[in-house]
Amino acid sequence: MSSSSAPSAARSCAPSPARTDARPATAQHHGPRGPLLVLAAAALWGTTGTAASYAPAEASPLSVGAATMGVGGLLTFLLAGRSVLHVLRAGRSVLLWALLGGVSVAVYPLAFYSSMADAGVATGTVVTIGCSPVFAALLERLLLGVPLTFRWLTATLCAGTGCAMLTLTGPESPASAGEVPRGLALALLAGAAYAVFTCCGARIIRSGHSSRATMGTLFGLGALVLLPVLAVTGGPLLSETRGLVVGAYLAVVPMCLAYVLFGSGLTRLSAGAATTLSLFEPVVAAVLGVVVVGERLGGRGWLGTGLVLLGLLVLTVAGGRTSEEDGAVTER
């Protein structure tokens, strides 16, 4: 973001919070808590590809994605409880953002897991997460003309370059090379959907709602679409014990728990910073691929991993200042 005093993505995606719902921004957001929450969520997300690789061979990527965020979304909705009603009754503007976010939540896992099936776990992951900050910045720019800060550009350049190197080093070979372009297109779609629901969540939070209520609303709406998809496609996944274990893990840990952490992080960070910090996910995915799955990552791959970490460091070190500039809101 090129201006020295640019508003953040979260602030640009949302009106100023109501005075009755938040303390002054400068009263609480010192230290790296917000970035660390998002990094913890990204670390859990990084386990999805490795976990999904243990699903039965007959299980489709649509069923895995639907189980992950359909069942996980239902759990997130139940954790939010009655607070979801406050979001849905908050007025037409908030409801429209919630519906848009819910559609994006439904699109994301279907496109993401399909991209990994077509282009490989490493490629699908790094392209999806690597492009999401770009889409978040474009949303800010197109919707409200928000300028881009130099720090964001530096962090995204480092992390994006690292993601590209990880992609080029990808240890996996899809069954058919002709499926790779389709997988890359699906990864771009998943990255765009991720950026959209991040922006929608940030806007709802900044309108005065808690992160738990916001995440519960978005993922509950997404579950309305994903659970029927699971009912249609989930036979091979749910008919074996191994598939049930994989589905349960994906729904509870990298979905429900991770998005609770992510939503809490969004109360302290901009959407643009959150999406860039999420680039930690492909780093975790690459390391697990080497340590757990037995993939090989050459020197270029490890250099790419280091660049992603450098980009994350650029954003994380000044996390306290970022929160104050963004006017972030504490969770109620």
If one counts the domains in the chain, the total is 1
Candidates 48, 13, 54; CA nearest to 207 is 13
Which of 21-30, 151-160, 243-252 is the least confident region? Answer: 21-30
Span 109-136, mean pLDDT?
81
Residue 146 placed within a domain = yes
Question: Which pLDDT score is estimated for 9?
Answer: 35
Question: Which pLDDT score is estimated for 104?
Answer: 95
Span 141-154, mean pLDDT?
74
Cα–Cα distance measured from residue 250 to residue 174, given in angstroms and rounded to the nearest whole number: 22
Candidates 20, 60, 4; CA nearest to 329 is 20
Residue 189 placed within a domain = yes
Q: List the structure tokens of 64.
A: 């895995």
Q: How far is CA 154 from CA 4, 89, 129, 140, in A?
A: 13, 40, 17, 18
Residue 331 placed within a domain = no
Number of other CB atoms surrounding residue 180 within 10 Å: 17
Max CA-CA distance within the chain? 57
pLDDT-derived band of residue 66, with 50, 70 and 90 as boundaries? very high
Q: How far is CA 69 from CA 29, 45, 203, 253, in A?
A: 30, 12, 21, 11
Cα–Cα distance measured from residue 181 to residue 169, given in angstroms and rounded to the nearest whole number: 17
Residue 14 placed within a domain = no
Question: Which pLDDT score is estimated for 178?
Answer: 56
Cα–Cα distance measured from residue 21 to residue 30, given in angstroms and rounded to the nearest whole number: 19
Residue type, 168: L
What share of the chain has pLDDT > 70, as a percent?
77
Which of 54-63, 243-252, 302-311 is the least confident region? Answer: 302-311
Question: Which pLDDT score is estimated for 144?
Answer: 61
Residue 44 placed within a domain = yes
Span 282-286, mean pLDDT?
79
The reported pTM is: 0.74
Residue 258 placed within a domain = yes
Q: State the residue range of the domain holding 172.
A: 32-321
Span 159-171, mean pLDDT?
69
Kindly report, residue by residue over 225-259, the tens digit of the pLDDT: 999 999 999 999 988 899 999 999 999 998 888 88
Cα–Cα distance measured from residue 183 to residue 299, given in angstroms and rounded to the nearest whole number: 25
Question: Which pLDDT score is estimated for 107?
Answer: 96
